[in-house]
């Protein structure tokens, strides 16, 4: 008898961005620098908002690039090994 496989609800799926200590240190340095600027509050808020947007776009771009690279590697590896997707998935899921 086959075990029942549970699938995630795609509408409730999310990718958790794990940021490194280096990222947090750079964010603290940027925050301290911006705090030291003689900016009126609205311009300070606008600068922070633009910085957040820039970081989010960089994260999205990096994720998309990594995903594309993974897909290309899978295609290359599959042709090289003539493996099935199931074999590749089994290999990738091994501890």
**Which of the two residues, 57 and 77, has the higher pLDDT score?**
57
7-11, 75-79, 85-89: least confident range:
7-11
C-beta of residue 57 within 8 angstroms of C-beta of residue 51:
no
Residue 46: strand, helix, or coil: helix
Residue 32: which H helix or E strand, with range? helix 21-36
Q: Which helix (H) or strand (E) segment is 56 a member of?
A: helix 41-81
Would you place residue 18 in the very low, low, confident or very high pLDDT band (cuts 50, 70, 90)? confident
Look up the pTM and report it.
0.59
**DSSP assigned state of 3:** P
Q: What is the pLDDT of residue 43?
A: 94
More confident residue, 55 or 11: 55
Question: Mean pLDDT over residues 62-67, rounded?
Answer: 89
Report the percent of the chain where pLDDT is more than 70: 74
Residues 85 and 77 sit within 8 Å (Cβ to Cβ): no
Mean pLDDT of 18-44: 93
Label residue 71 by pLDDT band (50, 70, 90).
confident
């Amino acid at each position: 008898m086959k075990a029942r496989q549970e699938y995630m609800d795609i509408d409730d799926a999310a990718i958790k961005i794990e940021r490194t200590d280096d990222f947090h240190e750079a964010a603290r340095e940027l925050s301290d620098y911006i705090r030291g600027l003689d900016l009126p509050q609205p311009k300070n808020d606008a600068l922070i908002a633009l910085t957040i947007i820039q970081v989010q776009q960089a994260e999205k771009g990096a994720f998309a690039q990594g995903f594309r690279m993974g897909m290309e590697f899978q295609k290359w590896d599959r042709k090289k090994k003539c493996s099935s997707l199931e074999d590749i998935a089994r290999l990738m899921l091994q501890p």
